[in-house]
Amino acid sequence: MTAASSRLRAPLLATTLFAAPALAQTAPPPQDPPVAGAPGTAAPSQAADAVSQPTERQVAPDGPEGIADIVVTAERRETSLQETPVAVTAVTSGALEAQGVRNLNELGSLVPNLTATTGPQGSADANFFVRGVGQFDFIATNDPGVGVYVDGVYLGRTVGALIDASNVERVEVLRGPQGTLFGRNTLGGAVSVTSRAPALGELQSFVRGTYGSRERFEVDGSVNLPLGEQAALRVSGFAREQDGWARRAFDGARFGRVERYGGQAALFLQATPELSFDIKADYSNDRSNLAPSVLRAFAPLPFFPADIGADVQGDDFYRIFASNQTESRNRIYGFSATIAYEMGPATLKSISAYRNLDAFSTSDPDGTGYRLYDQVVPTRQDQFSQELQLAGETPNGRFEYVAGLYYFNERVRQTLDLCFAPITPRPAARFNQCNFWSQNNDQTTNSYAAFGQMRLNLTDQFSVTLGGRYTVEDKENVTTQLFDFRPAGFSPAPGVVVPGFVAPIVTRLPGELDFEKFTPKVGAEWKPSDDLLIFASYAEGFRSGGFNGRLVVPAPAIPTYEPDTNEAFELGLKSDLFDRRLRFNVTGFYSTYKGIQQTISDPVVQFRVANAGEARLYGFEAEVTALPVKSLLINGALGYTNSSFRRRDGQNGPVDPSTGIAFGNRLPFAPEWTASGGIEYAFDLGGGKLTPRGDVRYQSRTFFSPFNLPLEQQEGYALFSARVTFTDASDRFSIAVFGDNLTDEEYYTFGQNALGAQGVAYSYLGRPREYGVTASLKF
């Protein structure tokens, strides 16, 4: 297959598996024009999408109308979703638009056993949890547990990883350890984003605008320019603004504001029939302020103001008392170059990438009008990665393989400036002055890996898969601390020692760590018919250890923690039934999660990362799409995860003595149940189509920390949304009216019960109900 033909297959076949948007008319069988990324026929509620957005209702070249398949890269090369023995959900741009998904953190509404949060510090942070495995801490010395990839490039930080959905062609969520093909920090799974590709020989463009609640204004669009017969340039951009939804009691200032813009330029060059170049540059700037925190409860510590109780959250859910105007600024840019060379039955590919992040955020976790624990965090990160892949198969198709080498280099510099209330006099006024503790982490990571996976097709129905990855990683960190224990406003001349006060303490602690790990995969696949696949697998994931980047007392060396691993067994089924009018996929899993890296509250050091022992995880995901009649589409997804910390050998008693976590507790961000469903019907109006759609997403009780304490959990809740879309007969213009969180559900997205360590329990607010209208035009 040439590079051009491989790029053609994906957009022609791509569609959404679940949460699919509105239906299209029967499309003609796809042709084979000499283009890369040729457009498909848009579905009614997808008409707002860019050209090259495929339909959910394409006719297979050799079969009747039905649910089309999706081409995915879950095995680092293009394969059919229904023939890929991996627990993966693929969502197209049309599905994202139909359900109002604006960024990756909202994928939880579409994907079973996936939860996400921006966490406690940044509005543009992306913290994913798959089957209970992930990471919610933003600190630079911690690594994510679910890897995020954009066009094959790994993003090293959760900070600033909140990808906007405006230029997304497809998102794949891979569940379970992906240590063989995706590598480091994918022990929970991987989120792989594919952006829209340039199309050869096509002059295409679109523009879309949205206006909605709280002065929401958004615009995005793109243009595809042919550059001769062998090259094409695609330029896209977006801008989003919206007022906040929470108001401060003292002055009415709003919190939760959205303000971000960005874009991408992508150049595709088919230099020869065998050689292609895919070069991309992107830029984004986020100047939002994060969701506000509220005080839920407090312990009457001596240094707390006498009237702190007045700032506890009351009946007005969105009334807040923050002592600073929380903000989050993230300036991000990156470059990547993918070079592919076709060598008959094999393809050699090089992926080179550089990314730069400049972030700044403030937060007020105590949620009061007094400066008790206010925090300021600037972060700077740059990374370079290089991957070489060789993928192919033997002429008889009996042996398929992918192998490669990988290198990743990252430097991240982050400062934590914390207003530390215990070292100040009791605040006498709101927005008081406050002394601080400051810590800077300057960490460099180098990661090297060799990987390979092969599939041996023993018969036309039965195959086996073997794979492995060997990773070597080193981390160097220099931690600089400043402890200033003087009263607020006390500033003697340099070098002056005042009796009775502790002078500022400055320490500089270097550290170095090395890790290596082999992560295997073994699988077997049986395909008794063209529309049925049964698979079983064993896989491992690995995350290296690291440094404890928070020290609130002087220390002689940087404390460290060990790696964690996830070992998972899976048994799955993928099926298309009744002439592809019903798709049913289900996967069961059992995992042993060892050495779990958890950020825990500690009365001595406030917060630290600890290896919190082991956990047992088991459950399933079931997904269904039904097309009972031409104009009716029904989809649903159900996920179940049972998670619990368990004793290790030699441990007794109800709690782990090293962490204080009770055995039997559930893992954070691991709701036992997640469920989603949607239904839509396309009415033919003669001069166009009217497509109403409704969606619901439910998750059961979710704990925000491994301690499972009251005031740091969210009870089960459901969010309802609806959209009505009109698309004209030419499929060029559409307008949609939508509503999100229609029942105005009040819920929390994150929280911590730090009554023992800090004397406060606080939570972060979820978004309220909102309405809007979206119009788009293709030309």
Residue 22 pLDDT greater than 90, yes or no: no
Residue 126 pLDDT greater than 90, yes or no: no
Tell me the backbone φ, ψ of residue 775, rounded to 5 degrees.
Answer: -125, 145
Residue 25 pLDDT greater than 70, yes or no: no
Confidence band for 606, pLDDT divided at 50, 70 and 90? low
Give me the mean pLDDT over the 68-96 stretch: 89
Nearest to 483 by CA among 506, 500, 501, 499: 506
Confidence band for 429, pLDDT divided at 50, 70 and 90? low
Nearest to 680 by CA among 667, 666, 696, 669: 696
What was the pLDDT predicted at 504? 56
233-266: pLDDT as tens digits: 999 999 999 999 999 998 888 888 999 999 999 9
Q: How far apart are CA 247 and CA 549, in angstroms?
A: 33
Q: Which residues contact 286 (CB under 8 A, 6 or more apart)?
A: 123, 124, 160, 162, 259, 260, 328, 329, 330, 331, 332
479-489: pLDDT as tens digits: 887 766 555 44
Give me the mean pLDDT over the 707-731 stretch: 94
Give me the mean pLDDT over the 172-196 stretch: 94
**Do 435 and 424 contact (CB within 8 A), yes or no?**
yes
Q: Which residues contact 558 (CB under 8 A, 6 or more apart)?
A: 477, 479, 509, 510, 511, 547, 548, 551
Q: Mean pLDDT across the chain, nearest whole number?
A: 85
What was the pLDDT predicted at 397? 85
Give me the mean pLDDT over the 758-765 stretch: 90
**Domain of 148: which CATH number?**
2.40.170.20
Tell me the backbone φ, ψ of residue 754, rounded to 5 degrees.
Answer: -105, 35
| Range(s) of the domain holding residue 111 | 3-778
Minimum mean pLDDT range among 106-120, 307-321, 410-424: 410-424
What was the pLDDT predicted at 21? 34
Q: How far apart are CA 401 and CA 25, in angstroms?
A: 38
Q: How many domains does the chain have?
A: 1
Is 4 in a helix, a strand, or coil?
A: helix
Confidence band for 427, pLDDT divided at 50, 70 and 90? low
Q: H helices then E strands: how many in the chain?
A: 2, 45
Distance of CA 99 to the CA centre of its chain: 17
622-660: pLDDT as tens digits: 999 999 998 999 999 999 999 999 988 777 788 888 888
Q: How far apart are CA 278 and CA 233, in angstroms?
A: 10
- Sort 306 into a burial class: Cβ within 10 Å, 0-12 / 13-18 / 19+: exposed
What was the pLDDT predicted at 19? 33
What was the pLDDT predicted at 12? 29
What was the pLDDT predicted at 100? 78
Give me the mean pLDDT over the 90-105 stretch: 83
Distance of CA 644 to the CA centre of its chain: 23
373-403: pLDDT as tens digits: 888 889 999 999 999 999 999 988 899 999 9
Q: How far apart are CA 539 and CA 169, in angstroms?
A: 28
**Do 391 and 77 contact (CB within 8 A), yes or no?**
yes
What was the pLDDT predicted at 528? 96
Give me the mean pLDDT over the 259-281 stretch: 96
pLDDT: which is higher, 652 or 573: 573
Handedness of CA 34, 40, 41, 46 (dihedral sign): negative
What was the pLDDT predicted at 620? 98
What's the token pair of residue 83? Answer: 């023939």
Q: How far apart are CA 773 and CA 726, in angstroms?
A: 11
**Do 221 and 207 contact (CB within 8 A), yes or no?**
yes
**Do 137 and 117 contact (CB within 8 A), yes or no?**
no
**Do 773 and 737 contact (CB within 8 A), yes or no?**
yes
**Do 180 and 160 contact (CB within 8 A), yes or no?**
no
Percent residues over pLDDT 90 in the chain = 61
What was the pLDDT predicted at 641? 97
Q: How far apart are CA 135 and CA 543, in angstroms?
A: 11
Minimum mean pLDDT range among 316-325, 435-444, 469-478: 435-444
Highest mean pLDDT among 219-233, 251-265, 744-758: 219-233
Residue whose pair of structure tokens reads 């996967």 in the numeric block = 587
Residue 327: how many other CB atoms lie within 10 Å: 19
* Strand 713-714 versus strand 79-80 pairing type: unpaired
